[in-house]
Amino acid sequence: MTTYTPTFDHQLLERLRGAVRGEIVEPGDPGYDEARKVYNAMHDRRPAIIVRAVDAGDVIATVDFARDQGLALAVRGGSHSVPGYGTCDGGVVLDLGLMRGIRVDPETRTAWVEGGCTWADVNHATYAFGLATTGGMVSTTGVGGLTTGGGMGYLVRRCGLACDNLASVDLVTADGHFVTCTAEHNSDLLWAVRGGGGNFGVVTSFAFRLHPVADILGGPTFFPLDSDVIRRYRDMVGEADDDLGALLVVGLGPPVPFLPERWHGRPLCGVIACWTGSQDEDDRIRGRLAAVGPVLGQYLERIPYPVINTLFDDLVPPGLYHYWKGTFTQGLSDGAIEACVEYGAATPSIQSVTVGIPLDGACHRVGPEETAFSYRDADYSFALSGTLTTRADCEAQKDWVRGFHQALEPHSMGGGYVNFIDHDDQNRVQANYRANYARLRDLKRRYDPGNLFRLNHNIAP
Ligand code: FAD
């Protein structure tokens, strides 16, 4: 194990201690090993210092400290980054996990969400008012990384990406300035954080537009892993109202009570539905799902919206070993479906799930240059997640993910959603932003010429 001995400027460190109201954790402190852990157990790193910020002042002080010391700076929101960008060896971790305040204004349908919140925090706070906005599929994922990368989930077809719902952000830039970014002020930075990831600064607060979403008809329906089933799923999505979120999942049957035991651990596919339309239409939606194929098991109930975002939390707790890739497809070609069936049958573990998220509807109604997120003509975003409970078979897991990705390549659009790609995909960052890359690079040169925010899918200045 490498031990990093930080060579801090004593005065700067003392100034940081005086400026920060949150916690500062260093090697040798009792909480150090807990504080340095990130969600993906692949990354066992030893930062020189971890600052657990409680407010924007702490964030500014930490950004100034890392920059002036010339140290790497890892910004951590919910800690879910698969490439482990929320940690580093020998540098500074700015952990926003104590910044979890939320204020909801039901009149203007706006939620102000601090930079370290998870989607569980947001869904809980907004459900009380019968409101919601697009978040991720797992409630423990951070708002920070998910939103700045784009943000896909059950509500995308109806409400757009998470970043499409951003009215404004408060941002600390590389020079330690605090700026509020709206459509009128610092609009170029608001544009950049709507898909450009953590490249432009630390968001201390997000203002999200909310939509009337309270109880929904939702849950998984499992089918045999068969290309005709996936074709019928594709047809269903093609005809469905935007109020139907319907994610395709391919993997091994999870050990859940509503799936007969003989299917546990066996390849299958499924549709995770989230119908936010009228309850009067529930039976029509049930019928439509039943027409996709022979139902092996189903949990499809009227549930509060926050519940659907917790259904898979237990399947993917922190501490597993993740390696992912992502790709976009236009339509769902027969070739892509065949690749899903072939590689789905070889899924390495119950935790490894391939997810296809339909991106049409509201997501298509935003132009490719209106936000940094450019793939507005993609119909599906695929996450190929190789996830294991031990490190032992990690090489085989990576081979499976890479092979699957290669098999999908001829049926894909190039690039890859920054939140679903891994560290070895840095060379795909430019392709991910397509025509927006040049503008992003210009903004990076202007706001972060020294590339302080480089532990991310990096847009080099
Ligand atoms: P962190 O590791 O804390 O941060 C990742 C990066 O985000 C950091 O490098 C930093 O640059 C940036 N960042 C974080 N917070 C801030 C902030 N406040 N200001 C500026 N930059 C910040 N993605 C989807 O779109 N939809 C899903 O449904 C979805 N489901 C997922 C489920 C699981 C189990 C996992 C592991 C990931 C999932 N993802 C999903 C991918 C997810 O969006 C990314 O992993 C994202 O980076 C996680 O954000 P985080 O804040 O939790 O991560």
**Residue 383, both tokens:** 């996450």
CATH 3.30.465.10 residue window(s) in the chain:
102-212
DSSP 432: H
Q: Write the pLDDT tens digit of every residue in 245-258.
A: 999 999 999 999 99
Helix axes 56-69, 10-19, angle to 10 degrees: 170
Q: Write the pLDDT tens digit of every residue in 308-331.
A: 999 999 999 999 999 999 999 999
Q: Which atom from ligand 1 is nearest to the alpha carbon of 86?
A: 2
Per-residue confidence (pLDDT) for residue 5, from 0 to 100: 55
Find the angle CA(366)-CA(371)-CA(374) to the nearest 5 degrees: 80
Per-residue confidence (pLDDT) for residue 444, from 0 to 100: 98
Q: What separation in Å is there between the alpha carbon of 408 and the centre of ligand 1?
A: 24
Find the angle CA(205)-CA(211)-CA(216) to the nearest 5 degrees: 120
SS3 190: helix
Per-residue confidence (pLDDT) for residue 12, from 0 to 100: 86
Q: Which residues line ligand 1 (CB under 6 A)?
A: 39, 75-82, 85-86, 96, 115, 136-138, 141-142, 144-146, 148-149, 151-153, 197-198, 202-203, 316, 419, 455-456
CATH 3.30.43.10 residue window(s) in the chain:
14-95
Q: Which of 39, 40, 189, 172 is nearest to 114 (CA)?
A: 172
Give the helix/strand (H/E) hosting 303: strand 301-304
Give the helix/strand (H/E) hosting 441: helix 437-447
Give the C-alpha distances (Å, rounded to integers) separating 141 from 118, 120, 145, 195, 228.
Answer: 6, 8, 8, 16, 33
All residue ranges of the chain with pLDDT < 50 are 1
Give the helix/strand (H/E) hosting 222: strand 215-224
- pTM equals 0.97
If one looks up domain 102-212 in CATH, what number appears?
Answer: 3.30.465.10
Instruction: Report the residue among 40, 80, 308, 401 best suited for mutation to probe ligand 1: largest number of ligand atoms under 8 A from its CB.
Output: 80
Per-residue confidence (pLDDT) for residue 87, from 0 to 100: 98
Q: What separation in Å is there between the alpha carbon of 140 and the centre of ligand 1?
A: 10
Instruction: Report the residue among 75, 190, 206, 418 best suited for mutation to probe ligand 1: largest number of ligand atoms under 8 A from its CB.
Output: 75
Q: β-strand 211-212 against 131-132: which pairing, if any?
A: antiparallel
SS3 158: helix
Per-residue confidence (pLDDT) for residue 414, from 0 to 100: 84
Domain with residues 14-95, CATH architecture: 2-Layer Sandwich (3.30)
φ, ψ of residue 446 in degrees (nearest 5): -75, -45
Please, which residues bridge with residue 179 across strands? 171
Q: β-strand 92-95 against 166-172: which pairing, if any?
A: unpaired
Residue type present at position 141: T
Find the angle CA(121)-CA(125)-CA(130) to the nearest 5 degrees: 135
Alpha-carbon span 417 to 80, nearest angstrom: 15
Which CATH class, in words, describes the domain spanning 215-429?
Answer: alpha beta
Alpha-carbon span 303 to 28, nearest angstrom: 46
The 8 Å CB, 24+ separation contacts for 279-282 are: 279/217, 282/217
For the chain, first and last CA: distance in Å? 33
Yes or no: say if 159 and 362 are a contact pair by the CB < 8 Å rule.
yes
Per-residue confidence (pLDDT) for residue 4, from 0 to 100: 54
